[in-house]
Every structure is written in structure tokens, then in C-alpha cells.
Amino acid sequence: MQVKELGHLVLYVRDLSVSAHFYRDVLGWRPILDGTSAQMPFPAAAFNSPGGRTHHELLLIEVGPQAAPLPAGRRVGMYHFGLKIGTSDDELREALASLKSHGVNVVGATDHGMTHSLYITDPDGNEIELYVDVPGVDWNDPGLWAEPTLRPLRL
């Protein structure tokens, strides 16, 4: 067996309408199923990126306000997921301005040497990396991984 690509993410969320607004209106995902369909046996919303490369790339399933919050700090489970948002720091600057205008929690900005990244959290505390690749980087260079760059990103 060989994995061909990452297919989709599924996230449990407290409030489907709040999370759907975030992923649709703030991050720009294209809705496929908006959560109002009576055809679904549980509250859920499905999305694709604008390229629409597959049946769905993100599924949100509502679990309600009583759901336990994500524990803070180091824990087993997902740390974050990354979304490539463009090819230049100008696009990161535009994204940062948009995120701030929507009141999104920005938790970091890092120059990794091979990527420039903003880190945010969604309404349920899931961390998301929004990044651009640094042009001209040799991705096959083992030194990128052996001695990673971690500098504050100045936008």
C-alpha cells in the first residue's frame, strides 16, 4: 500500500454554524453541504478548497456545547494542520490583515526557512498553519530537517 495524497480532514465542532462561518467566510472554503440538509443523520457541513480537487476536503460534525475542550499544551493527537494559501509574503500579509479584521486568534508567525507561516486557531481551538513555500528551496536537502530554521516571521 502507498498513500497517494491527504484526502480530507474531519473535525468535531461545538457549534456548526459558528465553525461553518469561520471556514467558509474567513478562510474561504467552498461549501458543498451547509448543515441544513435533512438528508444527513447528524449536523454536519462539508467543504472543498476553491480548486475542488475531490469530493470533500473538510467535514465538520457538530457535537454540541457540552463537548470537552481540547486540552492545552503537549498532548497526543493533532497539533495542527497546514493550508497553503499562496506563493508570496504579500499573500501572507493580506491574509493577516483579513484574519485581524475578523478577530481571528493569531498565535504565531514563523520563518521556517522553507516556509513562512502564520498560526491561528479556529473557534474550537484547533490550530491551523497558513503558509507559503519559500521560493528556491531544495526540499530534498536533509539539512532542512536536521537543523530546522525557527525564526520569528516579520510581515
- Kindly list the domain boundaries of the chain, sorted by start residue: 9-62, 80-152
Give the pLDDT score at 87: 94
110/113 Cα distance (integer angstroms): 9
* 15 confidence band (pLDDT: 50, 70, 90): very high
CA distance 15 to 19: 6
| Residue 98 pLDDT | 97
pLDDT in tens, 70-113: 888 888 888 999 999 999 999 999 999 999 999 999 999 999 99
Distance CA 11, CA 78 (A): 11
For the structural domain made of 9-62, what CATH number should be given?
3.10.180.10
Closest CA to 151 of 111, 113, 104, 116: 111
The pLDDT value recorded for residue 26 is 97
Average pLDDT (7-29) is: 95
Phi, psi of 111 (to 5 degrees): -95, 110
Question: pLDDT digit string (tens) for 131-151?
Answer: 999 999 888 888 888 888 899
CATH topology of domain 80-152: 2,3-Dihydroxybiphenyl 1,2-Dioxygenase; domain 1 (3.10.180)
Question: What's the Cα-to-Cα distance from 72 to each of 19, 105, 121, rounded to whole Å?
Answer: 20, 15, 12
Strands 105-111 and 58-62: unpaired
Average pLDDT on 36-43 reads 74
Indicate the SS3 state at residue 85: strand
The model's pTM is 0.92
Under 8 Å between Cβ of 81 and 9: yes
pLDDT at 36: 66
The DSSP symbol for 70 reads P
